Structure 1
Amino acid sequence: MKALQAIDGQLAWSERPAPACAAGQIRIKVAAAGLNRADLLQRAGHYPPPPGVTDTLGLECAGVIVEAGAGSRWSMGDRVCALLAGGGIAEEVVVDERHALPVPQGLSMVEAAAIPEVYATAWLNLFVLGELQPGEKVLLHAGASGVGSAGIQLCKAFDNPCWVSVGSAERLAYCESLGAEGGVLRGDGLESLRDFAPFDVILDPVGAKYAQLNLQLLGQDGRWIMIGLMGGREATLDLAKLLSKRIRLIGSTLRSRSADSKAALLADLEKNVWPLFESKRIAPRLERSFPIDDVEAAFAALASNTVSGKLALVIDKDLN
């Protein structure tokens, strides 16, 4: 099979041995794969896969099951999307059968490929770790990103008013169209976020650059959930504020979680989020898809930081 490798910073769509399918796993013929910032980082050598995980790029995909063991909930030919620790940008992928969910009714394979990573990330951090309750206020930094787009929609569906920080007026308008109450532009400074504070939960992929401001914006018993370090890894914090406000600072990654943890998360998504796709209350925000032959253009588009929502790679157009 062909799979996407990052070799010394260069992308190679090359032949690799097909993985074996063990008990409890399924084999998926991949139609499309979502593209994520983690793929950019892995290409650059900054985010290697967890031990024992393939070095093929790709944290999510959609396709058709071509192999399933006896007693599996899945059958040959089922249309599924899957959350992966790696290997999604390939002609085939083998995954724990608990980490796949049915493609929501009415969605194409390319749309479904843009769901697992960002909706799992948003649900895990806002509603599981962040313990959001109806009516609590949320701030989403990088609100027009894939995770931000998913987070806005989930906040709206579960009655949590949310605000965003974004890079342009066009991206702010995009966020508001998804249900954000408002927000600010990074270039204008973030201090005006104080007008919307205090927030109960801040979802932060930026890190050090926003650390002091986050402490100021959070209210009593606020939860600051850090999922990335785009703005640096070292910050000076006023711990007295953390203490006096009883703020919880939570570091969170999804890729390295255990198989059982991911299985519980996917089951939670199927119960609470999948019905929202079926009823059209939320939808994957796919800005653009690229054929696998244009993978360099897809990576360049994501690296430009101008994408609103998600990008996907079409692996097998006949399955779409």
Structure 2
Amino acid sequence: MTDLLAKAHPAGARTAHERAAGPDTAGEGRADGAAPAARGTRRRLGPGRALPFGRLIGPVLLVAVWWAASASGHLDPRILSSPATVLSTAADLLSTGRLQDNVLISLQRAGLGLFFGVTAGVVLAVAAGLSRSGEYLLDGPLQIKRAIPSLAMLPLLILWLGIGEQMKVTVIALGVAVNMYINTYASLTGIDSRYVELAEGLDLGRAQFIRKVVVPGSLPGFFVGLRLGVTSSWLGLIVVEQINATSGIGYMMFQAQQYAQSDVIIVGLVAYGIFGFASDAAVRAIERKVLSWRRTLAG
């Protein structure tokens, strides 16, 4: 959107850029070359420089505390198995192929639900955000749906769709679609109206308006919704895989509960956690790449 401002008001765009550069650069453009008055060491107010793989510090510390508590005997193995036991159990499940089979099925369910949910949420957000008639028709029902958890609709969905894969994917997709719609719609309707007026003044076509104004303006909200949608897909997966399922990580955990196999349950939880953390990190990486023009506290 900054290229539209530069095209219409080059001087104004440069002024905005200079203002964004901060107060320290303002003194450099003075005619007398005088520097700002010294105030001593400048206080750093931001979160500091980002560390590579810094988000792994928290999970590693959590595992270290868990390991130390188990090794020192402060953690009853009947309540929570030790990391060594969990690793041994995971190795046994991998050797028999049981873990891989269940993981693949869970990934397929979560992937399908995420795909359909993202697609539906974005389409609905665009229809409601760019059209008054679409807003009047769609926003009300979707706001009502937001107040109704997808899991509360399970009895009705089971009556409609049965207990097969279609019901499981639908539950996941509903949770994802609501998150995508809310955040993308909020980002679309939050675009400054001056950009719309500027696009009209430049006589942009509908396609150019969407490409130069709508897409850049909605991408931040889209990625927030995508991160929440990825999380929703895993949360929905955990639930639907424990409802008359015959495969998946949740089914494996439910079966382990019947035999008090806490180590197998923890293997399933760790698998969910790894996939959730990895998928969120992947979305973050894509967001940083796509929105590289932004300068935020996240770095």
TM-score above 0.5:
no
**Higher relative contact order, structure no. (Cα contacts within 8 Å, ≥ 6 residues apart):** 2
Q: Which structure has the larger Rg? A: 2
Structure 2 length as normaliser, TM-score? 0.20
The structure where strand makes up a greater share of residues is 1
The structure where helix makes up a greater share of residues is 2
